[in-house]
Amino acid sequence: MTTDSVDGRILELLRAGGGFASGAALSRELGVSRTAVWKHVKGLRGQGYRIEAVPTKGYCLVASPDLLTPLGLGAGLATRRIGSRLVCLRETESTNAVAFRLAEEGAPEGTVVTADAQTAGKGRLGRVWISPPGVNLYLSVVLRPLISPVAACQLTFLSVVAVARAIEACTTLAPQIKWPNDILIAGKKVAGLLNEMNAETEKVNFVVLGIGVNLNMRHSQLGAGVRHPATSLLEEGGVEVDREAFARALLRELDQLYDRFLADGEGPVRAEWLERSAIRGRQVRVSSGAREFSGEVQGVDSFGALLVQVPGGGLETVLSGDVTLC
């Protein structure tokens, strides 16, 4: 086993037990001496892990560093595809841009890129995604599904539902989905998704799912000029969210939903999207390119387009744009 994999296994075993694990048990599980276990624990401490050592009880993981690392994210992740390769950066222009470059160079399906801060975080429709250091989650995933380019927008359902599920798993808050890919808490935007694709006429080469979740950002960090009322999980719930635990929960949900998507198509994931959607049956105002109109939302079609019934009975199909609840 490499140093990293022993470190990862120790973290996994300490996390799984929740309390103390004896040096003898760890050495047995890992097939290394108790002295080696102690050396690895010292190494992990050097990386910011607080591990208590009590002679009669063994070792207990008290706290992890508040920084995403391949070691911390990957230990015991046990996903099938998502997280096959983990790239964790301190600062970058945009995790989507990095993931896109890696995918062009042949990065495997499931490659995940995270950053502590983004200097040019990208939002939808050419907007900026505010990305201060140390507080939020900025994450991009490379997927290589064997689908046609028109079907790629179905992957939006997948990432939105995964974020909603991760919020439920890590907080007591109730996320709502707003078309096409916003997550709201109490009507304010807490997460956004930007999927980018490299495709030929007939086939998708790869898709990058870009996910930004405001975890512990304060209102004062949001800055002026954000279009929608925005918030963070900390502002709404009053409790700091463990960034690593949230990221791991999100990767697991993505993995499970992607598995489902590959096995059963977009139907089941879209059904969950609709169930969670804050928009069905609501009156909305749509701004899509040069088009502006109001109407009642009927649902979404299998390609993710919003179906809006306009006065007079016609049904408008909206593929991209901004939707405001009336």
| Interacting residues with ligand BTN (CB under 6 A) | 94-96, 118, 121-124, 127, 129, 138-140, 182, 192-194, 210-212
Beta carbon nearer to ligand BTN, 70 or 265: 70
Contact between 231 and 185 (Cβ < 8 Å): yes
* Cβ-proximal residue to ligand BTN, closest one: 192
Give the separation between CA 242 and CA 97, rounded to whole angstroms.
25
Nearest to 52 by CA among 9, 22, 12: 22
Q: How far is the CB of 304 from ligand BTN (least distance, A)?
A: 15
Beta carbon nearer to ligand BTN, 6 or 103: 103
Beta carbon nearer to ligand BTN, 84 or 214: 214
User: What are the phi and psi torsion angles at 296 (to 5°)?
Assistant: -110, 130
Report in angstroms the alpha-carbon separations of 207 from 109, 113, 265.
Answer: 9, 13, 16
Beta carbon nearer to ligand BTN, 14 or 152: 152
Q: Which residues, at least 6 apart from 136, have a Cβ–Cβ distance to it below 8 Å?
A: 212, 213, 214, 215, 216, 217, 232, 243
Beta carbon nearer to ligand BTN, 175 or 212: 212
Give the separation between CA 191 and CA 181, rounded to whole angstroms.
8
Give the separation between CA 217 and CA 297, rounded to whole angstroms.
32
Q: How far is the CB of 242 from ligand BTN (least distance, A)?
A: 19
Nearest to 183 by CA among 235, 230, 245: 230
Q: Which residues, at least 6 apart from 91, have a Cβ–Cβ distance to it below 8 Å?
A: 115, 116, 117, 118, 119, 133
- Structure-block tokens of residue 238: 């009053």
Report in angstroms the alpha-carbon separations of 121 from 50, 98, 103, 272, 326.
Answer: 32, 11, 18, 28, 29
Beta carbon nearer to ligand BTN, 3 or 119: 119
Q: How far is the CB of 258 from ligand BTN (least distance, A)?
A: 17
Q: How far is the CB of 190 from ligand BTN (least distance, A)?
A: 10
Beta carbon nearer to ligand BTN, 106 or 126: 126
Q: How far is the CB of 235 from ligand BTN (least distance, A)?
A: 17
Q: How far is the CB of 38 from ligand BTN (least distance, A)?
A: 39
Q: How far is the CB of 228 from ligand BTN (least distance, A)?
A: 9
